[in-house]
Amino acid sequence: MSPDGRRLRNVRIERAVRAFERLDYQVARVRGSHYVLRHREKGILVLPFHGGTVKAGILLDALKKARISVEDFEELL
């Protein structure tokens, strides 16, 4: 939950990938329903999506691994 009380919502996979690309992640591959994103310093993120969206819990975990706040990520969407 962000400081102003808003919760992170499910995000369309296209928007999530585009936001991570703005953070210098690159799509390494797409296999089935999983996007694998690679960053030269921060490593690999896997974004599973079902029904075209990334669930909020999965996204929060990816944001922790990417070391980015929810607020900063929402600005990139």
pLDDT under 70: residue ranges of the chain: 1-6
Identify whether the C-beta of residue 15 lies closer than 8 Å to the C-beta of residue 35.
no
Residues 76, 73, 57, 18, CA torsion sign: positive
The pLDDT, as a whole number, for residue 6 is 58
Total-model pTM? 0.86
Beta bridge partner(s), residue 38? 26, 44
Assigned token pair, 65: 């691994």
Q: Which domains does the chain have, with CATH numbers?
A: 11-76 (3.30.920.30)
Question: Which pairing describes strands 26-31 and 43-48: parallel, antiparallel, or unpaired?
Answer: unpaired
pLDDT tens digit sequence for 50-72: 888 999 899 999 999 999 999 99
- The pLDDT of residue 2: 47
